[in-house]
Amino acid sequence: MTRLAVRAATAALATAAALFAAPPVQADVARPPLPDATDEAFNEACLTAHNAYRARHGALPLVLDDAAVAHARRRAADASTVEGPGAVPGSRAGYGENRYWSASYEDEAAACAAAVDLWYDGVAHYDWANPGFTRGAGTFTQLVWKSSRKLGCARAAGRAPGAEWHETYVVCAYSPAGNITGRFPANVAAPTP
């Protein structure tokens, strides 16, 4: 191939790439975190909801842990700096984690039971014949993971400046973390009738 033919082919490829290139993506714009809406009653409600589902699967009850609550508070605040249920900046610091986001026109924070119920709904996606991580079941498996013993939950809720709706971010942190490859059969038991 001559140099002229190589230049023509390169120009044609560059033109084709320009025609099919994806448009630029808007960067997430961080906003101030929403107010902390965590209190003792919220964490007790989270603990009760978790332990009711865990009992169905033969898992011991979780206990509330101050360090896990503090971690969940930081994660909920971080989550609320970006609108919606996207990626959360920062580190999970060795904790297992479930996250929940909701938006409503009513100025009321979502209850923890709404988050825990939604996480448990992942049971429908779990493949009991082939135990392991399944994207649609990950929140469920973390919730009932037998080796997890400690729980801390937090909630950030409110209206961001100029927002049309009231948002709630719930984060629960689990220690030790669940969803560990190779350990599903020992940690995720089928529900008992």
Specify the pTM. 0.83
Residue 35 is given by DSSP the state P
pLDDT score at 36: 98
- Of the candidates 134, 145, 147, 142, which has an alpha carbon nearest to the alpha carbon of residue 172? 142
- Tell me if residue 102 falls in helix, strand or coil: strand
Is pLDDT at 49 greater than 80 in this prediction?
yes
Q: Which residue has the higher pLDDT, 147 or 19?
A: 147
- Tell me if residue 151 falls in helix, strand or coil: strand
pLDDT score at 91: 72
pLDDT score at 28: 52
- 134 vs 169: CA distance, rounded Å: 23
pLDDT tens by residue, 86-138: 777 667 789 999 999 999 999 999 999 999 999 999 999 999 999 999 989 99
